[in-house]
Structure 1
Amino acid sequence: MRIARWRQGDAVGEGFVDGDVVIPFPDGVTVADVLELGLVALPGIRAASTSMGAPLADVRLLAPLVPAAIRDFVAFEEHVEGMSASIDGASEVVPEWYQAPTFYFTNPHTVLGPGEPVAPPETEKLDFELELAAVIGASAGSAGTNLTTEAAASHIFGYTIMNDWSARDLQAREMKVRLGPAKGKDFGTSLGPWIVTADELAPFVDDEGFLTIRAEVFVNGALIGEDLISNMGWPFAELVAYASRNSRIVPGDVLGSGTVGNGGCLGELWGRAGELVPPLQEGDEVRMVVEGVGDIVNTVGARVSAPPIPRARQRSRARRKA
């Protein structure tokens, strides 16, 4: 099944996408409610959704959920190699990458839906990141803490496409402070076009739990990058289990795979092609396609200026001692 949110006139709808028709949930039911109930409740909700719905062409799709939290992993070895070559001139993967699936938290309040333009900060190096994301739902078999891989798999409600927009020049400054990305990332994350339930992608899962589906990204109609989601270092269930380690996942959490390799972002290509692959500019169209899920298109809007940043104060007296 496909779960979506949309706008039709002044009204926001939430429900199923069935072919070329959107069908609202029963009165009062939201995507957040459905995630809280879990996959087991979907057949009953679908049976109770008696509205004739509306043509998909007559509505504007929104982001398919309002995330409770967004964790973004870096699960593709080739992406790490490509970014390393772009930044340091040497293609390498640090040994620590292989030890555990690293992630960072980004902003759930700046999520964009299909067709919604991104409003980047003042940056000279705007980039996209092609990702697939797992959406967490309830599981009757376990709570969301210290999950095994098997239990974690039961918490995956479905999947959606994710574009982790990035201002690489801002990100590069931040990373030197050794804390992780922040303002270089938190201005926008695209999700959509809908959530495809996990059972729909089950035929693509291989013996190790990886999704053997193809992902592509186009800029202004030109193919920039392509990869298989199965080239991840860890399958999604292991990412979910790691996120729950001594912590908690809840329905509505979104876990991004991290950027695919082989041109999943422009930053990888800058290390190989330099100025032949320019950063994104206002008006550029970015289209992402993931097999079995669909596609999401966003354009680059005008850069948005912000108040100046004050520098750190210099100490004028000796540091106090305890």
Structure 2
Amino acid sequence: MQQGQRIFVLRAVEPLCTCYLKVGTVKIVRCKNVPPDRIETFAVVEGYNIITLTDFLRRVPYGWESYLLETLTSDWLSDQLHDYARQRRITGKSYPASEAVPLVPLAYVRSIRDFYAFEAHVKTARQQRGGSSRIPSEWYELPAFYYSNPSVIFGPDDVIPYPYYTDALDFELEVAAVIGKQGINISVEDAESYIAGYTILNDWTARDVQKKEMAIGLGPAKAKDFATSIGPYIVTRDTLANFRNGKGFDLIMTAKRNGEEISRGNWRDIHWSFSEMIAYASQDVMLNPGDVIGSGTVGSGCILELGPDNVGGWLQPGDVIELEIERMGVLRNTIGEKRDPRAPQ
């Protein structure tokens, strides 16, 4: 977390559902290791003023996290939260956020649908995988997606395990929407109201495995089955409203490898809006709080597109990847050692 930010310590009733909420420019982050008790935390922060949510959450009839996500999609509930914060300006003891360890911003990711929404990525990636750069007409007719693995979610500063079965590990710079309330057969016009907020997503990929799987015509599967990173915050829709541009937002997206910027794109270049993705995903299927909708890779947002020879090759153990989106923070991860589990220990 950035120096100077402060958080409030609150003993959580549900220790897995712990957040930090910055009202106004709203950001949510789960964190741990805050002194003195080193427990997880939940609070409202206005600048440097801290407001506990103990009384606010006593009335909650179900899990804290689901309630919080729903609060961020409801004007009425959000107004209640802001009114409560105004009434309880400063309560409790605060600590520098730098002392906290940020976690995955969602305690429970119900599902991940990762889309393919940036035209530049589709064109270049198809070409780099040995196919034609011509984009199929069907891509312009519907927003395609695949299901990722919600049981292998990593957060800020986590070490990413290097799959033993690949020699071509890659990152993917994406943005994701977090669903905040239930809905089925959601219209494009109503879809945005179902978004609790946005976060950065890294869709780690084994490129050599992906190439083989896609040649079969089914997948990706094991190429993307081992890790997805999200974080560091969930940023609410209202926070980004002034940056709306077309179907996306005029926000720079960058990737750094070991401190050197190697990729730069912009969310505004997205072809399919999140409203269109959500409407498509919800056709005859219920979406629930905690479902994650990934955008797919921004143009030039991966080594596959940039060309391994141009950026120092595929990822190696010890590499540090930092994905940043303006107004949304930095998602940083380190690549772990490559170990063959079949080898004698």
Over the aligned positions, Cα root-mean-square deviation in angstroms equals 2.3
CA distance change for structure 1 residues 69 and 212 in 2, over 3 Å: closer, same or farther? same
**CA displacement, residues 105-128 of structure 1 (integer Å, 9 cap, x when unaligned):** 111111111100101211210100
Q: Which runs of 5+ in 2 are unaligned?
A: 1-25
1:265 to 271, 296, 302: 302
SS in 2 for 1:88: coil
1:5 to 30, 34, 53: 30
CA distance change for structure 1 residues 15 and 253 in 2, over 3 Å: closer, same or farther? farther
CA distance change for structure 1 residues 276 and 292 in 2, over 3 Å: closer, same or farther? closer
For normalisation by structure 2, the TM-score amounts to 0.80
Counterpart-to-counterpart distance in 2, 1:24 and 1:195: 19
Match of 1:82 in 2: 124
**CA displacement, residues 227-258 of structure 1 (integer Å, 9 cap, x when unaligned):** 11111111111111111122221111110110
SS in 2 for 1:278: coil
Whether the 8 Å contact between 2:262 and 2:311 is mirrored in structure 1 is no
1:250 to 278, 288, 296: 288
Whether the 8 Å contact between 1:3 and 1:16 is mirrored in structure 2 is no
Match of 1:93 in 2: 135
SS in 2 for 1:246: coil
Instruction: Return the letter of the residue paired with 1:173.
Output: K
Counterpart-to-counterpart distance in 1, 2:333 and 2:33: 19
2:102 to 55, 61, 77: 61
Instruction: Return the letter of the residue paired with 1:205.
Output: R
1:174 has 2:174 as partner: no
Match of 1:116 in 2: 158
1:197 has 2:222 as partner: no
CA distance change for structure 1 residues 21 and 77 in 2, over 3 Å: closer, same or farther? farther
- Percent identical among aligned pairs is 39
SS in 1 for 2:159: coil
Instruction: Return the letter of the residue paired with 2:261.
Output: L
Residue 45 of structure 1 and its aligned partner are, at CA, apart by 3.7
Counterpart-to-counterpart distance in 2, 1:78 and 1:126: 21
Counterpart-to-counterpart distance in 1, 2:249 and 2:280: 18
Residue 205 of structure 1 and its aligned partner are, at CA, apart by 1.3
CA distance change for structure 1 residues 91 and 176 in 2, over 3 Å: closer, same or farther? closer
SS in 1 for 2:216: coil
Structure number with greater CO (CA < 8 Å, separation at least 6) is 1
Counterpart-to-counterpart distance in 1, 2:50 and 2:121: 36
Match of 1:73 in 2: 115
Instruction: Return the letter of the residue paired with 1:280.
Output: L
Correspondences of 1:286-305 after superposition (within 5 Å): 286-305=321-340
The number of equivalent residue pairs is 300
Correspondences of 1:22-61 after superposition (within 5 Å): 25-26=53-54, 30-40=64-74, 41-45=77-81, 47=84, 50-61=91-102
Deviates more, 1:235-244 or 1:46-55: 46-55
Q: Which runs of 5+ in 1 are unaligned?
A: 309-322
1:148 has 2:187 as partner: yes
For normalisation by structure 1, the TM-score amounts to 0.85
Whether the 8 Å contact between 1:120 and 1:304 is mirrored in structure 2 is yes
Whether the 8 Å contact between 1:4 and 1:16 is mirrored in structure 2 is no
